[in-house]
Structure 1
Amino acid sequence: MLLEYIQTALARAKYDIIEDDEEPYYGEISELEGVWATGTSLEECRKNLEEIIGEWLILRLRRNLPIPPLGNFKNCDHR
């Protein structure tokens, strides 16, 4: 289930290129507060973003915080 949530989140990611930056590729998922990543390529940015989503989910679960609904994941209240 966590992998499906991560894949759903990645499908909603928005990417930008930041000129004159060491890691010019920037990606974020606006529905997940604080979830963003950078990379030297789009592929690296996406991989970094995938890792961040996983860490973000673990942190929210450990702190008993709600997981925002995404796509088919409507009821993500684990409390």
Structure 2
Amino acid sequence: MIQEYLQKAMETASYEFLEEEGFYGSIPGAAGVWAMGETVEECRQELLEVLKEWVLIGVARGDELPAFDEVELKVELVG
């Protein structure tokens, strides 16, 4: 389920070419998830790593994570 969530989120990513900076990528709906890289592939790989960390932190904190293409992660606190 997590892999599908990550894949759907990455499908929404947008990339921009920045003169002298390489590429900038972000995921709409995932606040703070962005990355930069010299190539679009390097940017994509970095963006995926940032997304993974964002999901882990969100799950640990019990945050409600956004759905991507109707795929969502539900976090239930046990305690």
TM-score between both structures, scaled by the size of structure 1: 0.88
Matched, 1:36 2:24: no
**Which residue of structure 1 aligns with residue 47 of structure 2?**
49
> Which residue type is aligned with residue 30 of structure 1?
P
**Which residue of structure 2 aligns with residue 13 of structure 1?**
13
* Alpha-carbon offset, residue 30 of structure 1: 1.2
- For structure 1, the 5+ residue unaligned runs are none
The number of residues matched between the two structures is 76
* Alpha-carbon offset, residue 77 of structure 1: 3.1
> Which residue type is aligned with residue 77 of structure 1?
K
**Which residue of structure 2 aligns with residue 78 of structure 1?**
75
- For structure 2, the 5+ residue unaligned runs are none
Q: Aligned to 1:10, what secondary structure does the other structure show? A: helix
**Which residue of structure 2 aligns with residue 26 of structure 1?**
24
Query: Which residue, out of 37, 61, 64, partners 1:63?
Result: 61
Q: CA RMSD in A?
A: 1.1
Deviation string, structure 1 residues 9-60 (Cα, Å, up to 9, x no partner): 1110000011122xx1110011111100111101110011111110000000
Q: Aligned to 1:78, what secondary structure does the other structure show? A: coil
Report sequence identity in percent. Answer: 34
The runs of 4+ residues in structure 1 deviating greater than 6 Å are none
